[in-house]
Amino acid sequence: MLTEKGEKNTTFHELKTIAARVRAEGEIIDVASGQMAKLGQKLSAFLKGHSLLIIICLFSLILRVLWIKIPVHGDEGEAGYDAMLWLRGNLPYAFHDMDKPPLIPIVPNIDQFVREQYYPCQDVK
Amino acid sequence: MLNDVLFLVSIVALYLFVKDWYGKRTGCLSALFYGIFMSVPTIEGLYALASSFSLSFFIFSLYFCNKYLEAGKRWLLYVSGMLMSSALLICQQWAVGLVLLLIIVIFSRRTQSTKTARSLAKDSIAGVSTLIGGMILLISAFIIYFWSHGALYDLIRSTVIEFMGYASYGSFMRAR
């Protein structure tokens, strides 16, 4: 059974705990916002210092976008075909001939390897 | 698509480590040269081919190796070895890259460090073994996979023996 004094003490203790928690959370928020601000400053300093690099990257991106709809290259098709056969259980080198290392059918078609479905043509969905 | 993303990130990586090695101007020029010539269809850089794909991994590997030389953290070298072995597993010609990385690691530590000869040797051995550990990881994963499927000999015959055969004739193209 709690006395009046005891109840008061409990409430005061709870308030003290809440206040300490709020202070700690405030400190965490301060630290997080400080880190974000530092990151932002670093990023803006990098962008200012390497503006030429950004221009080069954008220029390269534009060049890539210009030729984004080119037909599939023969070797791309070959790698895709090897990937399709591999996914269907025909192990490369053993069941069909392949002269390239084993990562080349996987890396360009990594999403299809994850889904375990392969579409040999890029446009077929 | 992945090829394009890797290419764009590799421009930044190329710029950063060339800037460290030869200065900002050379870094910009090499990034520009790489950015233009890997994006024109004549050189076939924008296709997802073995050579263009593996080049990005090669550049990332050199970037991490350079970071290791700056910071001295071994995990960077491990990542570098893994990336170089990825490049090798995409295109056999990057076996040269493995040797190149080994040379960089062995000789750069010797020239930069001011420690005693014994600790230098220790550093070199630790660096080289970390690099080799990173290189071996992916390659051994594929070796175990093909061995467990009974196709290890076919893998070695197709990717190493036959490749050495036509490489010795001065051509990387397969005779059809």
Enumerate long-range contacts of B8-14, CB under 8 Å, 24 or more apart: B8/A57, B8/A60, B8/A61, B8/A64, B9/B56, B9/B60, B10/B34, B10/B55, B10/B56, B10/B59, B10/B60, B11/A53, B11/A56, B11/A57, B11/A60, B11/B35, B12/A53, B12/A57, B13/B59, B13/B60, B13/B62, B13/B63, B14/B59, B14/B63
According to the model, what pLDDT value does residue A77 have?
78
Rounded Cα–Cα distance for residues B84 and B8 (Å) = 18
> Per-residue pLDDT tens for A5-56?
555 566 777 888 888 888 887 777 777 788 888 888 888 887 777 788 888 8
> Per-residue pLDDT tens for B139-156?
999 899 989 888 888 888
B14 or A124, higher pLDDT? B14
Q: Is residue A125, in this structure, part of any structural domain at all?
A: no
Q: Using 50, 70 and 90 to split pLDDT, how confident is the model at B175?
A: very low
* % of chain B exceeding 90 in pLDDT: 8
Enter the DSSP assignment of B93.
Answer: G
Mutate: best of A55, A63, A95, partner B, most B CBs <10 A = A63
Q: Is residue B45, in this structure, part of any structural domain at all?
A: no
According to the model, what pLDDT value does residue A123 have?
47
Rounded Cα–Cα distance for residues A88 and A81 (Å) = 11
In this structure, the dihedral spanned by the alpha carbons of residues A32, A38, A39 and A41, taken in order and rounded to 10 degrees, is 150
**Which of A24, A40, A65 is a domain's end point?**
A65
Q: Using 50, 70 and 90 to split pLDDT, how confident is the model at B173?
A: low
**Once rounded to an integer, what is the mean pLDDT over residues B86-95?**
86
The total of structural domains in chain B comes to 1
According to the model, what pLDDT value does residue B152 have?
86
Q: Is residue A90, in this structure, part of any structural domain at all?
A: yes
Q: Is residue B27, in this structure, part of any structural domain at all?
A: no
Task: Residue A99: list chain B partners with CB under 8 A.
Answer: 158-159, 162-163, 174
Q: What distances in angstroms separate CA B81 from CA B50, B105, B114, B128, one per listed residue?
A: 19, 11, 25, 10
B49 interfacial to chain A (CB closer than 8 Å): yes
A75 or B170, higher pLDDT? A75
According to the model, what pLDDT value does residue A84 have?
81
According to the model, what pLDDT value does residue A125 have?
43
Q: Is residue B148, in this structure, part of any structural domain at all?
A: yes
State whether A75 and A61 are in the same domain.
no
Task: Residue B31: list chain A partners with CB under 8 A.
Answer: 53, 56-57
Q: Is residue A34, in this structure, part of any structural domain at all?
A: yes
Work out the mean pLDDT of chain B and round it to a whole number: 82
Q: Is residue B163, in this structure, part of any structural domain at all?
A: yes
Rounded Cα–Cα distance for residues B36 and B56 (Å) = 15
Q: Are B88 and B139 in contact (CB under 8 A)?
A: yes
Decide if pLDDT at B40 tops 70: yes
Q: Is residue B23, in this structure, part of any structural domain at all?
A: no
Q: Is residue A120, in this structure, part of any structural domain at all?
A: no
The total of structural domains in chain A comes to 2
B118: closest CA of chain A, how far (Å): 40
Q: Are B26 and B50 in contact (CB under 8 A)?
A: no
Decide if pLDDT at A82 tops 50: yes
Is A94 in contact with B163 (Cβ distance < 8 A)? no
> Per-residue pLDDT tens for B3-35?
788 888 888 899 888 988 888 889 889 988 888
State whether A8 and A61 are in the same domain.
yes
A79: closest CA of chain B, how far (Å): 8
State whether A98 and A58 are in the same domain.
no
Task: Residue A92: list chain B partners with CB under 8 A.
Answer: 151
State whether A14 and A36 are in the same domain.
yes
Domain coverage including residue A95: 71-115
State whether A17 and A61 are in the same domain.
yes
Question: Which region among A19-28, B42-51, B106-115, B151-160 has the lowest average model confidence (pLDDT)?
Answer: B106-115
State whether A12 and A58 are in the same domain.
yes
According to the model, what pLDDT value does residue B58 have?
92
A97's CB contacts (< 8 A; 6+ apart) are: B158
Q: Which of A53, A59, A93 sits opposite B158 (nearest CB)?
A: A93
Q: Is residue A92, in this structure, part of any structural domain at all?
A: yes
State whether A49 and A77 are in the same domain.
no
Residue of A38, A94, A50, A73 lying closest to B53 (CA atoms): A73
Q: Is residue B42, in this structure, part of any structural domain at all?
A: no
Q: Are B60 and B90 in contact (CB under 8 A)?
A: no
Rounded Cα–Cα distance for residues A105 and A75 (Å) = 10
State whether A53 and A89 are in the same domain.
no
State whether A9 and A47 are in the same domain.
yes
State whether the Cα torsion B89-B90-B93-B96 is positive or negative: negative
The complex scores an ipTM of 0.74
Is A101 in contact with B159 (Cβ distance < 8 A)? yes
Give the number of other CB atoms < 10 A from CB of residue B66: 21
Residue of A94, A114, A78 lying closest to B146 (CA atoms): A94
Domain coverage including residue B123: 72-176
